[in-house]
Structure 1
């Protein structure tokens, strides 16, 4: 089941999956509590939160249209390759397109996730770059 969640609910998975176990207080994004930001979570039948994402209103300088940026997408290691992340991301896209009238989504993708995002129709808009302490990334986007 997919539902809106709070920023606080994202922190455990952000820490575990994206920040190599950093304290949860260090996994908070600057825009987490701005009213235009939203967080989605995928819950199993046992009501366990196993996949998360955050979307924040943020236009990309290369594309002059209204946009949201995807941040902090993470799936618990025990629940990968079950389609949860794709379902969650597609739900976010539907919300952005149909409820908010947003024209595109963009984000910094980790190299390990390139095939996942490409399979969902996202394209590259940058060369590879390094985010210190996190690793290599490329910017990706999709017109909605």
Structure 2
């Protein structure tokens, strides 16, 4: 649990397979200095091992982007992506906006974004 989880502009979404929650994400309102427009940040996303490679994460992220675009009128979504997840986000049309950097204790990342 993080402080921003309780902000009124933060939202959480989940993907269920039957009664089982298999994928979650959190988005929080946060602009990025490289793109001076209204933005949200994908703050966290996780999929249970039994839900991986089934397209659930892509569907959930698609639903979040649609909500941001149509309901909140947000212009782009950005986040820090782990190296292992680059192909997943690239396939969904996200672009890089930084060189690789290390988050201590977590590993290498790059900032990514997508205009909505």
TM bracket, shorter-chain basis: over 0.9
Q: Identify the residue that residue 131 of structure 1 maps to in structure 2.
A: 103
Q: Identify the residue that residue 13 of structure 2 maps to in structure 1.
A: 40
Unaligned runs of 5+ in 1: 1-27
Q: Distance in 2 between matches of 1:69 and 1:103?
A: 11
| Equivalent residue runs for 1:1-144 within 5 Å | 28-45=1-18, 47-144=19-116
- TM score, norm. by length of structure 2: 0.98
- TM score, norm. by length of structure 1: 0.79
Q: Distance in 2 between matches of 1:90 and 1:56?
A: 16
Q: Distance in 2 between matches of 1:67 and 1:40?
A: 17
CA RMSD in angstroms, aligned pairs only:
0.6
Q: Distance in 2 between matches of 1:72 and 1:99?
A: 21
Count of residues paired in the alignment: 116
- Structure whose residues are more often strand by fraction: 2
Unaligned runs of 5+ in 2: none
Q: CA deviation at 1:77?
A: 1.2
Q: Runs (4+) of structure 1 moved beyond 3 Å?
A: none
